[in-house]
Amino acid sequence: MDNLRELYQEVILDHNKNPRNFRAMENPDGFAHGANPLCGDQIDVYLNLKDGVVEDVSFDGHGCAICTSSASMMTIELKGKTEAEALALFESFHHALTDDEPHPNDVPLGKLKVLTGVKEFPVRVKCATLAWHTFDAALKKVQGDISTE
């Protein structure tokens, strides 16, 4: 199981145990529900925007360690970002998990880098990106369910 340390790093396990910004929001500007039907992950992402900047973002629901920790880290990274910065980070994060070569416009991942070990576990990529897809949907103020399928 030692090779799994790359996947389940201490930081990830910590976020899984104590997820940050793990709460529902009363009247969010944006909200979306995300589900991964394959493994039963379900999360809600809540979002408040002010002048095009992510003022607050939170999530609740249940998922595996990769899903939960990714959601938790996402909320930390997103606060204070403009919409464009947030989307650029989402795209760059997605590239890092799925593509061998970086894309020219990719932005630095910062602390999210710890999640890139997921790339070696293709069936788990959806777990790591569910929160981001859901955030993306919330950002677009798309109501209702989205799916990673």
Partner 1 sequence: MSNTDQYDVASIRNDFPILGEKIHGKPLVYLDNAASSQHPAQVINAVKELYESGYSNIHRGVHQLSQDATKAYENGRSAVRGFINADCMHEVVFTSGTTESINLVAQSYARPRLQKGDEILITHMEHHSNIVPWQIVCEQTGAELKVVPISDRGELEMDRFAELLNERTALVSVTQVSNALGTVNPVAEIIEAAHALGVPVLVDGAQAVPHIPVDVQALDCDFYAFSGHKLYGPTGIGVLYGKEKLLNAMPPYQGGGDMILSVSFDGTTYNTLPYKFEAGTPNIAGVVGLGAAIEYVQKTGLGAIAAHEYGLLEYATSELKQIDGLRIIGEADHKAGLISFVLDQVHPHDIGTMLDAEGVAIRTGHHCAQPVMERYKIPATARASFGMYNTLQEIDVLVEAIHKTIGMFS
Indicate whether 134 belongs to the interface with partner 1 (CB under 8 A): no
Indicate whether 11 belongs to the interface with partner 1 (CB under 8 A): no
Using the rule CB under 8 A, give the single segment among 24-32, 66-74, 108-116, 139-147 that binds partner 1: 66-74
C-alpha to C-alpha distance for 68 and 131, rounded to whole angstroms:
8
The answer to whether the CB of 32 falls within 8 A of the CB of 143 is yes
Backbone angles phi, psi at 60, to 5 degrees: -150, 180
Indicate whether 18 belongs to the interface with partner 1 (CB under 8 A): no
| Through-space distance between the first and last CA atoms of the chain, rounded to whole angstroms | 29
Indicate whether 121 belongs to the interface with partner 1 (CB under 8 A): yes
Indicate whether 107 belongs to the interface with partner 1 (CB under 8 A): no
Tell me the per-residue interface mask from 28 to 57 with partner 1, x by CB under 8 A, - otherwise.
---------xxxxxx---------------
Q: What is the DSSP letter of 58?
A: E
**H-helix segments, the chain:** 10-17, 65-78, 83-98, 125-139
Count of positions on this chain that bind partner 1 (CB under 8 A): 23
Residues that bind partner 1 (CB under 8 A): 1, 3-4, 7-8, 13, 16, 37-42, 62-68, 121, 124, 127
